[in-house]
Chains A and B, each alone.
Chain A
Amino acid sequence: MTESLETISSGSPWRDAWKRLRRNNLAVVSLCFLAIMIVAVLIGPSILYWATGFTYDYTPADRELVRSMPPSLLHLMGTDDQGRDMLARVLQGGRISLMVGVISTIVSLIVGVSYGAIAGYFGGRIDNVMMRIVDVIYAIPYILIVIVLLSVFGGPSTPAWIKWLSTTIGGAGNQGLSQLFLLFFALGLVSWLTMARVVRGQILSLKNQEFVMAARATGVGTFGIIFRHLIPNALGPVIVYATLTVPSVMLTEAFLSFLGLGVQAPYASWGSLADIGIKNLAIFPWQLVFPGVTMALTLFSLNFLGDGIRDALDPQTRKF
């Protein structure tokens, strides 16, 4: 107990968490890497275009250049089969992959955490019904959901807000992007389920603990207990799980691209670039190595950052 008292000195718990996080070297490195990555995918394409004129879909007019070339000073990551600059594609792919991961994870966090917490806290019949609903949705194949969603809402009947989002982010005439936003939606819809289960499990084991009873005794309302006392205490596994969701959503997106339900060509995501790259591994290794390593490092950082945040948020963290 004494050890932990040192760390909880003053101020808000979030500032303490930040302090603790900064002491975790690996988490800091991960955080820096992710920050660089985010900045790179946001402004990288513009800088690259300004410096070299390459974009993710720029194909050289010279027929001789329409082939996969190894990395050079001009093309730092080489080119793909169509002669497009791999660096530009990796940056643009990162934009989409990170967006897929983050947006879907936020959807799953919001829905999953509240749902799971409510079910776990109330227990009994409510818990039963709510968890059975989760089981039912869980058992419906998400591929079917995605196919239906994309075909019903894709094409001429795309909802207006999705069109608005895609033209705002991707510029006018980007039909390919509206499918992507449907995808975020679809992936978010299916990835909150496990989150809800995890949270419920945590709440179940927490709700009979003394601090909850104490809070109840002091007259804190039900929602206050859930959102101010239970959820913060269950945040550890939630954050771990959220950082697991990001990569798993990114991988799911890659798999859906492979089925033709993911990102539309000539757009790419890291997953779809890796999928193409693995097929060309024997002859054009740079097509796998660059997107693959970028993706792997990002996921690595996400995972370590997740662990770091978990440790930092844990108010009683200490060495065993």
Chain B
Amino acid sequence: MLSFILRRLLIIIPMALVVVTLTWGLIRLAPGNFYTGEKKLPPAVESTIRKKYGLDEPWYKQYGMMMSNVVRGDFGDSLKYQGQTVNEIIWRHLPYSATIGILAYLLALGIGLLAGTYAAMKQNTVLDFGPMSFAMLGLSVPNFVLAPVLVIFFAFTVYLLPPARWGGPLSLILPVVTLAAIYAAYIARLTRAGMLEVLRSDYIRTARAKGLSDRTILFRHAFRGGILPVISFTGPALAALLAGTVVVEKVYALPGLGDIFIKAVLNRDEPLILGIVAFLSILVMVFNLIVDISYGYLDPRIRYE
């Protein structure tokens, strides 16, 4: 087990470098440049820029320069936001995204697991459809619709919550609920499916035959296997949440990473894109590793050689 974890951890770094390489290639294929703007730059300024950032060098040299910086963990300065380093930007905005993201995921887990489990046990009854319909709201209404509707209601009709901006726990409620809505729906459906699968399996039948109570069967036996699909969904979902979510950040004017990343792509801010992508890819892979490990614990049928 330990050697399995070690091997997977070791491979994360080269994989992140592969991701960075491919991303770099894509940025170079995309039209436009970080300095192309509405108004034309004097040719002299343009050539100064090209010289400064080594854009006149052959591509393999530029790639080499980029890679040697990335390997050292130094992504350099943002091209758009001059004088700010990429690392500084990521670490400055991660806490905002992380707070919203983790809170939203916890809320989504609560709602999703509850609704999904309940629905699985009451399959094909009103008690199945009721909670599921509620959970599925988030999957049926786009969050760019849900967010403004929530704002209109809670900020301007009942005057309970601020409409936007970061500040105080009250301001977190709407973004967290908006974000949780989608994930709750996903989790509810995955839980329901997973639980149904498990509830008919042999070991549950054995447990029932032994005369164990419903509650014991559910929480001691079925739950462990039933939430496997949720676990496998959690890895990428949590990583995506930590990296911020664009719509919620835009509508609620939050300084999270998601909006910054989209802007970086639209601005062709290469170091910032690469920095966030590298960070995110490591995050995804670490979470996926954790998912795989927890699979081993939750499902005794899986072995890691």
Interface set of A (CB-CB < 8 Å, partner B): 1, 4, 24, 26, 124, 132, 135-136, 138-141, 143-145, 147-148, 151-152, 194, 197-198, 201-202, 204-205, 208-209, 236-237, 240-241, 244, 247-248, 251, 254-255, 258-259, 271, 274-275, 277-278, 281-282, 288, 292, 295-297, 299-300, 303-304, 306-307, 310-311, 314, 316-320
- Residues of B within 8 Å of A132, CB to CB, are 11, 15
- Residues of A within 8 Å of B280, CB to CB, are 139
The complex places the Cα of A282 from the Cα of B185 at a distance, in Å, of 28
Within 8 A of A (CB), among B253-305: 261-262, 265-266, 273, 277, 280-281, 284-285, 288, 295, 299, 301-302, 305
| B281, A139: Cβ atoms closer than 8 Å | yes
Nearest chain A CB to B25's CB is how many angstroms away? Answer: 9
| A148, B301: Cβ atoms closer than 8 Å | no
Nearest chain A CB to B33's CB is how many angstroms away? Answer: 13
- Residues of A within 8 Å of B229, CB to CB, are 198, 201-202, 237, 240
State whether the Cβ of B29 lies closer than 8 Å to any Cβ in chain A. yes
State whether the Cβ of B145 lies closer than 8 Å to any Cβ in chain A. yes
Given A209-B301, A314-B200, A319-B124: 20 more A-B contacts, CB < 8 Å = A1-B205, A132-B15, A135-B288, A136-B18, A141-B273, A143-B265, A144-B26, A144-B265, A145-B26, A237-B194, A248-B139, A274-B142, A275-B142, A278-B148, A281-B152, A296-B141, A314-B196, A316-B200, A318-B200, A320-B199
| B29, A275: Cβ atoms closer than 8 Å | no
| B144, A258: Cβ atoms closer than 8 Å | yes
- Residues of B within 8 Å of A236, CB to CB, are 193, 196-197
| A141, B144: Cβ atoms closer than 8 Å | no
Nearest residue (CB) in A for B27 is: A144
- Residues of B within 8 Å of A320, CB to CB, are 120-121, 123, 199
The complex places the Cα of A304 from the Cα of B262 at a distance, in Å, of 33
| B142, A147: Cβ atoms closer than 8 Å | no
Q: Which residue of the partner chain, among A124, A201, A299, A300, contacts B295 with CB atoms under 8 Å?
A: A201
Interface of A is mostly: helix
Nearest chain A CB to B250's CB is how many angstroms away? Answer: 9
| A251, B196: Cβ atoms closer than 8 Å | no
| B190, A240: Cβ atoms closer than 8 Å | yes
| A288, B18: Cβ atoms closer than 8 Å | no
Interface of B is mostly: helix
| A292, B145: Cβ atoms closer than 8 Å | yes
The complex places the Cα of A320 from the Cα of B139 at a distance, in Å, of 27
The complex places the Cα of A281 from the Cα of B27 at a distance, in Å, of 37
Q: Which residue of the partner chain, among B132, B246, B277, B285, contacts A255 with CB atoms under 8 Å?
A: B246
Within 8 A of A (CB), among B148-168: 148-149, 152
Q: Which residue of the partner chain, among A136, A141, A202, contacts B15 with CB atoms under 8 Å?
A: A136
State whether the Cβ of B87 lies closer than 8 Å to any Cβ in chain A. no
- Residues of A within 8 Å of B31, CB to CB, are 151
| B132, A244: Cβ atoms closer than 8 Å | no
- Residues of B within 8 Å of A318, CB to CB, are 200
- Residues of B within 8 Å of A205, CB to CB, are 228, 299, 301-302
Nearest residue (CB) in A for B119 is: A307
- Residues of A within 8 Å of B129, CB to CB, are 26, 304
| A139, B140: Cβ atoms closer than 8 Å | no
The complex places the Cα of A205 from the Cα of B280 at a distance, in Å, of 28
State whether the Cβ of B70 lies closer than 8 Å to any Cβ in chain A. no
Interface set of B (CB-CB < 8 Å, partner A): 11, 15-16, 18-19, 22-23, 26-27, 29-31, 120-121, 123-124, 129, 132-133, 136, 139-145, 148-149, 152, 185-186, 189-190, 192-194, 196-197, 199-200, 205, 228-229, 232-233, 236, 246-247, 261-262, 265-266, 273, 277, 280-281, 284-285, 288, 295, 299, 301-302, 305
The complex places the Cα of A240 from the Cα of B47 at a distance, in Å, of 54
Question: Would you list 30 pairs from A and B whose C-beta atoms are within 8 A, ordered by A residue?
Answer: A26-B129, A135-B281, A136-B15, A138-B284, A139-B280, A141-B273, A141-B277, A147-B265, A194-B236, A197-B236, A201-B228, A204-B295, A205-B302, A240-B189, A240-B229, A241-B190, A251-B143, A274-B145, A275-B142, A278-B144, A278-B145, A281-B152, A295-B140, A297-B140, A299-B140, A300-B136, A303-B185, A307-B132, A310-B193, A320-B199
The complex places the Cα of A251 from the Cα of B139 at a distance, in Å, of 9
Number of residue pairs A-B, CB distance < 8 angstroms: 164
- Residues of A within 8 Å of B140, CB to CB, are 247, 295-297, 299-300, 303
The complex places the Cα of A251 from the Cα of B143 at a distance, in Å, of 9
Nearest chain B CB to A234's CB is how many angstroms away? Answer: 9
- Residues of B within 8 Å of A24, CB to CB, are 124
Most buried by A among B132, B143, B205: B132
- Residues of A within 8 Å of B121, CB to CB, are 320
Most buried by A among B132, B144, B149: B144
- Residues of B within 8 Å of A259, CB to CB, are 262, 266
Q: Which residue of the partner chain, among B27, B232, B266, contacts A198 with CB atoms under 8 Å?
A: B232
The complex places the Cα of A189 from the Cα of B192 at a distance, in Å, of 28
Most buried by B among A139, A258, A295: A139
- Residues of B within 8 Å of A292, CB to CB, are 141, 145
| A124, B196: Cβ atoms closer than 8 Å | no
- Residues of A within 8 Å of B120, CB to CB, are 320
Nearest chain A CB to B258's CB is how many angstroms away? Answer: 11
- Residues of B within 8 Å of A288, CB to CB, are 145
Nearest residue (CB) in A for B21 is: A136
Nearest chain A CB to B285's CB is how many angstroms away? Answer: 5
